[in-house]
Amino acid sequence: MSLDQELVDAAIDLARTRFPGQDWSGAAALRLDDGTILTSTAPDVPNNAVRLCHETGAICEAFKLDRKVMASVCVTAADNDRGYWVLAPCGVCQERLFRYGPDVEVAVPDPTDHRRWHALRLRDVQPHWFARVFPEDVWPYAPEQP
């Protein structure tokens, strides 16, 4: 399995070390096909319309390294110092992760305790992904090779 507690802990470790003592913190971690874990976080900016997701930096780094993303997790600090909640990837990040196919694993929170999580494949998070209607496209999606 590509998504495991080690990957979740990598995201939490970054959030804790980058934002020590702050009420708000968040970060993401990706596992690549060679086992490498990339982490990233996003700056808080005055204009909410231009905010980035925590995953964005790691997704760009994976592309720079020309490695396939196998798994992704995003966390944010829970209220009242109750640990970290796992966040499912937003729709934009799902689209970014689809570059690597529908079998990318993402962490989704348990509905009764957001600190707990389980892994789902993108195909199960978004079974009606828009690109499936194009018959010339391959499912799973495969980016064109040079």
Binding site for Zn ion (CB under 5 A): 53, 90, 92-93
CB within 8 A of 74, min separation 6: which ones? 11, 26, 27, 28, 53, 54, 55, 86, 87, 88, 89, 93, 107
Shortest Cβ contact with Zn ion: which residue? 53
- In the complex with Zn ion, which residue's Cβ is closer, 90 or 138? 90
- In the complex with Zn ion, which residue's Cβ is closer, 45 or 92? 92
The least CB distance from residue 92 to Zn ion, in Å, is 5
DSSP code at position 50 = G
Cβ neighbours of 82 (radius 10 Å): 11
Token pair, residue 73, equals: 């997790």
Among candidates 77, 59, 70, 48, which has minimal Cα distance to 122? Answer: 70
- In the complex with Zn ion, which residue's Cβ is closer, 20 or 43? 43
- In the complex with Zn ion, which residue's Cβ is closer, 12 or 97? 97
Collapsing DSSP states into helix, strand and coil, what is residue 86? strand
The least CB distance from residue 136 to Zn ion, in Å, is 28
In angstroms, how far is CA 25 from the centroid of its own chain? 15
